[in-house]
């Protein structure tokens, strides 16, 4: 490739026109002009990595030797960094090993890149090995080398080691930057060591560095973390007096802190001040306030704030909707929660399982089973699975409403179709509301283990079996695998209707009203049938 073509590739890459640069390379290669220099090739690799196209970057990298161009340390570093950015750590480390085995020595940027990755994953021993290796290999560490390691140490709470690096930095004649001091102030603030944070803050000013908004944000956040709101506000005031405009982050930190201290008036004041300064209030800041209002049950204020988002051009996200649904759930407003779910779905958002479950429970508690079932269908349509507890609530609500209705029975079948393999949800309801004449073929088998007891279902079954009156309530229960969730029988009942215990169960039924008496008798008959089938199944298995 001619010098002009190589220059064109470099120029296009610098302008971010990577595709055009690749086209120039392809045309040159097709014309047999294969004199590609390492700078142009490295620019292409870097450009592809920057655009996220690692496959193309690797293709160019692998093409270089065939074009007579040997990748240098800059080329390797560009691709290694690209792999790390895309989370392909193993590929990056393999390339680093290939680099060394091929006799290409890492440069300053390679070391800084590797140190940053080890710090990100908390592997400080490996990071320190590379850091200490640098002067041995003739690489002069720079402020980025130190700041990268200090950042990792502060992020993982290793503040003593971070301060030691600061002192080493000074001994080597490298002046700490504002970034260095900000890292330490933030690290001490997150650790709640505010006296140390203030010491570093004062050191920073002593060496002639003026604190930035980032510095003050770290300091204010630290004071808020230790619940020292008075000093947080003093730092906030000092920030403004120095001519530094508080940022969106500054206000959000204070709003969140006041909300957590249950000082909602102060939080709302900060929110109002933030709006007046012309700062863009995003969904995160709204979410901080809404979370506090919903948690405190101030749903009228929450609703007003929620509605104001639209006028400010801020779209509620999933987190905000879920917060509002949670708030309405706490006050028992089922239709308000349901409206929000419908609004979410209309806007292309999917509520989380907790929001669906909470709204379904609210609807069931109010007897609105049709709406609850519609929500369950909606859950299934977006690939979410209803929980066992939600099934219990729906079946219980249906039973309270319409006793032996077909809808209750179908809801029970639906629970089986949802693959709730524990017999619990259906045992709790089906013995009372199974239609007359149900047989072992009613439901598909859902259990494969031997008959087992489930003490947790005794209460629900006893509650469900009130139609059979007191003698039934005292019996224990046994689940048979061949009928799965509905295969429940009272252990102790005889295999034939002439048993004294069975008669004891049937006797109270005669005292019930006509329709209810028939239902109760059906229940007892079904139990006897299931018990006989279960015994026969076990005998066959033996």
pLDDT at 277: 92
pLDDT-wise least confident of 122-126, 131-135, 523-527 = 523-527
Confidence class for position 31, pLDDT limits 50, 70, 90? low
pLDDT at 412: 52
Between these two residues, 417 and 361, which has the higher pLDDT value? 361
Between these two residues, 89 and 427, which has the higher pLDDT value? 89
pLDDT at 421: 43
CA distances from 108 to 172, 202, 253 (A): 16, 32, 37
pLDDT at 3: 54
pLDDT at 382: 87
* Residues 294 and 326: beta-carbon distance below 8 Å: yes
pLDDT in tens, 238-268: 999 999 999 999 999 999 999 999 999 999 9
Confidence class for position 414, pLDDT limits 50, 70, 90? low
Sign of the Cα pseudo-torsion (259, 263, 265, 269, in order): negative
Between these two residues, 16 and 62, which has the higher pLDDT value? 62
Place of tokens 């920073």: 204
Integer Cα distance of 424 and 427 in angstroms: 5
pLDDT-wise least confident of 47-51, 184-188, 342-346, 493-497 = 493-497
pLDDT at 19: 83
Q: Where are the domains of the chain?
A: 420-542
Integer Cα distance of 189 and 154 in angstroms: 10
pLDDT-wise least confident of 11-15, 99-103, 458-462, 518-522 = 458-462
pLDDT at 32: 62
Task: Say yes or no to pLDDT of 163 above 70.
Answer: yes
pLDDT at 491: 32
Go through 516-526 and write b for each residue having 16 or more CB atoms within 10 A of its CB, e for each that does not. eeebbbbbbeb
Task: Say yes or no to pLDDT of 308 above 80.
Answer: yes
pLDDT at 458: 40
Report the 3 state secondary structure along 355-376: HHHHHHHHHHHCCCHHHHHHHH
Task: Say yes or no to pLDDT of 107 above 70.
Answer: yes
Confidence class for position 153, pLDDT limits 50, 70, 90? very high
Q: What is the mean pLDDT of residues 203-211?
A: 94
Integer Cα distance of 428 and 469 in angstroms: 16
CA distances from 437 to 305, 322, 434, 488 (A): 56, 44, 8, 15
pLDDT at 24: 78
pLDDT in tens, 322-345: 999 999 988 888 889 999 999 999
Integer Cα distance of 156 and 137 in angstroms: 28
pLDDT at 536: 43
Token digits of residue 484:
């799965």
Cβ count near 127 (within 10 Å): 23
Confidence class for position 95, pLDDT limits 50, 70, 90? very high
Between these two residues, 197 and 446, which has the higher pLDDT value? 197
Number of H helices, E strands in the chain: 30, 2
* Residues 528 and 493: beta-carbon distance below 8 Å: yes
| Closest by Cα among 535, 537, 521, 435 to 486 | 435
CA distances from 363 to 195, 318, 324, 335, 392 (A): 53, 21, 16, 8, 13
Between these two residues, 193 and 491, which has the higher pLDDT value? 193
> Structure pTM?
0.68
Confidence class for position 228, pLDDT limits 50, 70, 90? very high
pLDDT-wise least confident of 116-120, 315-319, 496-500 = 496-500
pLDDT-wise least confident of 207-221, 272-286, 437-451 = 437-451
Between these two residues, 2 and 285, which has the higher pLDDT value? 285
The separation between CA 402 and the C-alpha centre of its own chain, rounded to angstroms, equals 39
Tell me the percentage of the chain whose pLDDT exceeds 70. Answer: 71
Average pLDDT of the chain, as a whole number? 77
pLDDT-wise least confident of 165-179, 192-206, 423-437 = 423-437
Report the 3 state secondary structure along 479-501: ECHHHHHHCEEEECCCCCCCCHH
Task: Say yes or no to pLDDT of 538 above 60.
Answer: no
Q: What is the mean pLDDT of residues 188-208?
A: 95
Task: Say yes or no to pLDDT of 205 above 80.
Answer: yes
């Amino acid at each position: 490739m001619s010098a002009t073509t190589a220059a064109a590739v470099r120029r296009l890459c610098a302008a971010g026109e990577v595709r055009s640069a690749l086209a120039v390379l392809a045309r040159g290669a097709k014309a047999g002009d294969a004199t590609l220099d390492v700078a142009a090739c490295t620019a292409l690799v870097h450009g592809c990595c920057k655009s996220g196209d690692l496959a193309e970057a690797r293709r160019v990298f692998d093409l270089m030797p065939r074009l007579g161009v040997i990748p240098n340390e800059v080329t390797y570093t560009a691709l290694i960094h690209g792999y790390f950015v895309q989370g392909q750590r193993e590929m990056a480390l393999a390339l680093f090993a290939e680099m060394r085995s091929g006799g290409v020595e890492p440069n300053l940027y390679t070391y800084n890149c590797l140190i940053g990755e080890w710090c990100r994953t908390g592997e400080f021993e490996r990071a320190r090995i590379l850091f200490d290796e640098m002067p041995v290999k003739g690489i002069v560490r720079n402020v980025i080398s130190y700041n990268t390691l200090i950042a990792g140490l502060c992020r993982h709470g290793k503040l003593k080691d971070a301060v030691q690096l600061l002192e080493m930095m000074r001994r080597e004649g490298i002046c700490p930057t504002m970034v260095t001091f900000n890292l330490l102030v933030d690290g001490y603030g997150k650790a709640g060591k505010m006296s140390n944070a203030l010491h570093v803050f004062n050191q920073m000013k002593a060496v002639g560095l003026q604190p930035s908004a980032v510095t003050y944000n770290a300091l204010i956040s630290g004071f808020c973390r230790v619940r020292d709101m008075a000093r947080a506000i003093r730092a906030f005031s000092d920030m403004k007096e120095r001519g530094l405009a508080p940022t969106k982050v500054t206000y959000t930190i204070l709003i969140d802190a006041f909300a957590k201290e249950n000082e909602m008036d102060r939080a709302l004041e900060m929110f109002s001040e933030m709006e007046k300064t012309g700062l863009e209030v995003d969904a995160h800041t709204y979410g901080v306030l809404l979370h506090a209002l919903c948690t405190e049950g101030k749903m009228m204020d929450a609703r007003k704030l929620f509605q104001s988002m639209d006028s400010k051009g801020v779209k509620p996200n999933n987190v905000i909707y879920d917060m509002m649904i949670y708030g309405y759930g706490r006050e028992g407003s089922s239709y308000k929660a349901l409206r929000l779910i419908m609004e979410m779905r209309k806007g292309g958002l999917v509520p989380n399982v907790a929001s669906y479950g909470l709204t379904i429970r609210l609807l069931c508690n109010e007897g609105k089973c049709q709406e609850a079932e519609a929500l369950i269908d909606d859950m299934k349509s977006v690939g979410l699975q209803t929980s066992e507890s939600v099934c219990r609530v729906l079946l219980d609500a249906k039973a309270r409403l319409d006793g032996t209705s077909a809808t209750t029975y179908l809801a029970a079948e639906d629970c089986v179709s949802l693959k709730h393999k524990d017999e619990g949800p259906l045992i709790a309801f089906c013995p009372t509301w199974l239609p007359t004449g149900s047989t072992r073929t009613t439901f598909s088998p859902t259990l494969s283990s031997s008959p087992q007891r489930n003490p947790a279902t005794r209460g629900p079954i006893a509650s469900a079996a009130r139609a059979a009156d007191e003698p039934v309530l005292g019996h224990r229960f046994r689940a048979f695998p061949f009928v799965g969730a509905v295969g429940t029988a009272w252990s102790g009942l005889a295999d034939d209707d002439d048993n004294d215990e069975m008669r004891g169960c049937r006797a109270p039924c005669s005292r019930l009203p006509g329709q209810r008496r028939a239902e109760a008798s059906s229940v007892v008959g079904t139990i006897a049938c299931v018990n006989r089938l279960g015994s026969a199944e076990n005998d066959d298995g033996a």
